[in-house]
C-alpha cells in the first residue's frame, strides 16, 4: 500500500484520506474510490496520447494502473489474485473447452466464484468498505460475454443475430490484449462493462473509421496524428456532473438517513411525511450511483472508448456508447418500464444478450424459462441479501400492474384516434409520475436496508400501500370491470382497422431480470409443464392446459387463505 493512505500506525496521525473522509462524512474507502475515479481522468488522457501504432504499450499501461489501484490504494492483494484467477479461468475455458456447453461452464464457474465473494461480503457486514466484489461483478459481465463471443465466432454466422455477429470472436485474442481488456482501469471498480470487440476496435482504432461513403470532412476533429477524436470537453462535462451528484449525496445523506426509518420516532410522523422520507432516502442513494456511473463513463470517454460515431442529427461525435444511467429518465419516469430501463443500462444489455436470448432455442420466442433464468441471474449477480429478493419480487408485480393500468387508462386522455394528447392528459402525466416515484421508492427500499426484518419494518411504516394497490389492481383486472373499460376504449376509438400487433417484448427481455408480465409467465410455465409431462408419460391421464391452470390457481388460493396470506397477488392477474 502507498504511504499515508490510511491511519499512521506509529504516531496515530490522521492520514490525508481519513481526514478528508471525516470532514465530508464519508468512509475512508469511499473517498479512496472517488479519488480513483478522479485520477482516472488524467491517466485516461495520457492513455489516449500513447502512440496508436503501439498497442502493447497501451495494454501494459492499462494493466499497470489497475494494479496500482488494487494494491496501492486499497491493499487488495487477495482481490488482485481473485481477479487474475477469474480471468485465467475464463480464458482457459474459452480456449480449451469444446462443445455448446462452453459458455455455460464459464458462466457457472464465474457466477459461482462471485457468489462466494457475495457471501463473504455479507458476513463482513461492512457495506461502506471497498472490497473486490464490485470489480468482480463488472468482470463477470465481461468474462461471461467473452465466452459467448468466442463461441459465436465458431458458429455459422448466418445463424447469429446482428448483435452476435458484430461481437463474435473468430480467433482467441492474445493473452496481453485479453488481460488489458479485463483490467481496463477507467471501468475497473464500478463499470461500465463492454465486450472485447469494443476494446479491440478501440485498441486498433478501427472504432474511429468513418462509415463507407461518408464525407471525410465530417469526421470529428483530432489532435496531430491521433485517430481518437478530441474527447476532453464531453469527458469533463461528465466529471463535473458526477462530482455534483456526489456532493449532493454527501450533503443530503446527513438529513435523510436510512436508519431513521427503523426508529420508533419515525412512526410519530404523519403518513405523508413518512412516504416522502422514504422517497428521499431512495433519491439520495440514487445520487451516489448517478455520480459514480457518470464519472466512470466520463473517464471512458476521455480514453476514447465511449465513442459511438457521428450523430446524424447534430453532425458531432457521439460519446454515449457506454452510458449506464440516465438520471432524468429515472427521476421523470411515469411508468415502471421507463424507470427500470434507464437504470443500470449495461447490466440490462448483458442480461438480455447473454442470458435471456441465450436460453431460448433457435427459432422460438423467449418464454417462461428465459424470464426465470434472467430473474435468478440478476438476483444472484446482485448478491444474497434478502432485501434484494423482496425488491425483485415486488417489482415484477408492479411492472405488470403498471402496464395494465397504462393500457386501460391512458386512451381516455388521448384523442379518439390516439395521435394527440387531450388537455387533461397533463393531470394523467402528473399523477402517473407521482405514483411511479412513490411506488418504486417503496419497492427499492429493501435494496438499501438489505435485511428482511428491516425491510418489512420500513414497509409496515407506510402500511404496505403499493402491495395493497397491486392487490386491488390485480383483483380489478380479474373482474368484469376490465372488459367493461376495454369496451369503452373500443367504443370511443376512431382508428380505422386498428388491430393489436404482436409485441416485441420478447426481444427486449426482462428489464434487470424483472418479469414484465408475471401472469403471462405463469401461463407459459403451465404450458411447458404440460408439454414436458406429455413427452414423458404420453397423453394418457394428463389434464389439458386450461384444466391444469385452473387446478394450480385453486390450490394456490386455498393455500393462501389457510395461511392468511394476501389473496390475488399475481395469480388474480392471470385470470
Catalytic residues: 382
- Look at residues 565, 563, 86, 110 and name the one whose alpha carbon lies nearest to residue 377: 110
Question: Which residue(s) pair with 511 in the sheet?
Answer: 514
Three-class DSSP labels, 364-429: CCCCHHHHHHHHHHHHHHHCCCHHHHHHHHHHHHHHHHHHHHHHHHHHHHECCCCCCECCCHHHHH
Cis peptide before 192 (omega within 30 of 0): yes
Burial, 116: exposed, middle or buried (Cβ in 10 Å; 0-12, 13-18, 19+)? Answer: exposed
Contact 455, 449 (CB under 8 A): yes
- Number of Cβ atoms within 10 Å of the Cβ of 291: 24
Q: Which residue bears the cell 433519491?
A: 283
3-state SS assignment for residue 310: strand
DSSP assignment string, 338-362: HHHHTSSHHHHHHHIIIIITTSSPT
Question: Which residue(s) pair with 421 in the sheet?
Answer: 414
Residue spans of alpha helices (H) in 168-270: 175-182, 196-204, 232-252
Amino acid at each position: 500500500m502507498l504511504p499515508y493512505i490510511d491511519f499512521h500506525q506509529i504516531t496515530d496521525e490522521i492520514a490525508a484520506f481519513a481526514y478528508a473522509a471525516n470532514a465530508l462524512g464519508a468512509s475512508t474507502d469511499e473517498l479512496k474510490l472517488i479519488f480513483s475515479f478522479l485520477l482516472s481522468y488524467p491517466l485516461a488522457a495520457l492513455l489516449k496520447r500513447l502512440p496508436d501504432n503501439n498497442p502493447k504499450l497501451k495494454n501494459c499501461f492499462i494493466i499497470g494502473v489497475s494494479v496500482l489501484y488494487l494494491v496501492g490504494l486499497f491493499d487488495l492483494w487477495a482481490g488482485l489474485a481473485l481477479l487474475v484467477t477469474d480471468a485465467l479461468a475464463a480464458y482457459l475455458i474459452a480456449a480449451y473447452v469444446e462443445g455448446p456447453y462452453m459458455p455455460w461452464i464459464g458462466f457457472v464457474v464465474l457466477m459461482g466464484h462471485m457468489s462466494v465473494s457475495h457471501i463473504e461480503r455479507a458476513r463482513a457486514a461492512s457495506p461502506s468498505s471497498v472490497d473486490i466484489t464490485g470489480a468482480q461483478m463488472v468482470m463477470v459481465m465481461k468474462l461471461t460475454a467473452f465466452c459467448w463471443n468466442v463461441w459465436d465466432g465458431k458458429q455459422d454466422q448466418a445463424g447469429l443475430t446482428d448483435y452476435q455477429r458484430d461481437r463474435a470472436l473468430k480467433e482467441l485474442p492474445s493473452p496481453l490484449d485479453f488481460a488489458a481488456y479485463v483490467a481496463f482501469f477507467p471501468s475497473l471498480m464500478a463499470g461500465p462493462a463492454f465486450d472485447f470487440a469494443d476494446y479491440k476496435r478501440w485498441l486498433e482504432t478501427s472504432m474511429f473509421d468513418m462509415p463507407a461513403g461518408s464525407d471525410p470532412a465530417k469526421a470529428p476533429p483530432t489532435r496531430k496524428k491521433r485517430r481518437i477524436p478530441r474527447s476532453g470537453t464531453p469527458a469533463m462535462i461528465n466529471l463535473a456532473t458526477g462530482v455534483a451528484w456526489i456532493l449532493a449525496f454527501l450533503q443530503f445523506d446527513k438529513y435523510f438517513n436510512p436508519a431513521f426509518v427503523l426508529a420508533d420516532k419515525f412512526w410519530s410522523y404523519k403518513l405523508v411525511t413518512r412516504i416522502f422520507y422514504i422517497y428521499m432516502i431512495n433519491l439520495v442513494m440514487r445520487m451516489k450511483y448517478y455520480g459514480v456511473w457518470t464519472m466512470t463513463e466520463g473517464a471512458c470517454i476521455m480514453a476514447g472508448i465511449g465513442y459511438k460515431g457521428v450523430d446524424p442529427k447534430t453532425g458531432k461525435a457521439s460519446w454515449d456508447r457506454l452510458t449506464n444511467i440516465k438520471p432524468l429518465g429515472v427521476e421523470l419516469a411515469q411508468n415502471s418500464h421507463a424507470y427500470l430501463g434507464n437504470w443500470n443500462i449495461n447490466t440490462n444489455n448483458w442480461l438480455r444478450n447473454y442470458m435471456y436470448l441465450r436460453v431460448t432455442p433457435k427459432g422460438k420466442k423467449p418464454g417462461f424459462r428465459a424470464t426465470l433464468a434472467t430473474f435468478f441471474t440478476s438476483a444472484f449477480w446482485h448478491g444474497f441479501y434478502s432485501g434484494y429478493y423482496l425488491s425483485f419480487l415486488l417489482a415484477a408485480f408492479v411492472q405488470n400492474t403498471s402496464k395494465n393500468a397504462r393500457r386501460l387508462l391512458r386512451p381516455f386522455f388521448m384523442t379518439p384516434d390516439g395521435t394527440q394528447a387531450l388537455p387533461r392528459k397533463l393531470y394523467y402525466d402528473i399523477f402517473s409520475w407521482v405514483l411511479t416515484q412513490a411506488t418504486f421508492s417503496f419497492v427499492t427500499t429493501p435494496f438499501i436496508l438489505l435485511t428482511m426484518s428491516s425491510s418489512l419494518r420500513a414497509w409496515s411504516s407506510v402500511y404496505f400501500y403499493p402491495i395493497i394497490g397491486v392487490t386491488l389492481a390485480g383483483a380489478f383486472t380479474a373482474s368484469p370491470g376490465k372488459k367493461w373499460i376495454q369496451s369503452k376504449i373500443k367504443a370511443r376509438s376512431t382508428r380505422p382497422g386498428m388491430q393489436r400487433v404482436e409485441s416485441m417484448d420478447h426481444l427486449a427481455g426482462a428489464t434487470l431480470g424483472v418479469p414484465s408480465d408475471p401472469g403471462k409467465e405463469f401461463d407459459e410455465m403451465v404450458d411447458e409443464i404440460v408439454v414436458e409431462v406429455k413427452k414423458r408419460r404420453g397423453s394418457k391421464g394428463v389434464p389439458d392446459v386450461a384444466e391444469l391452470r385452473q387446478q394450480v390457481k385453486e390450490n394456490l388460493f386455498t393455500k393462501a387463505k389457510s395461511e392468511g396470506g394476501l389473496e390475488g397477488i399475481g395469480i388474480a392477474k392471470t385470470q
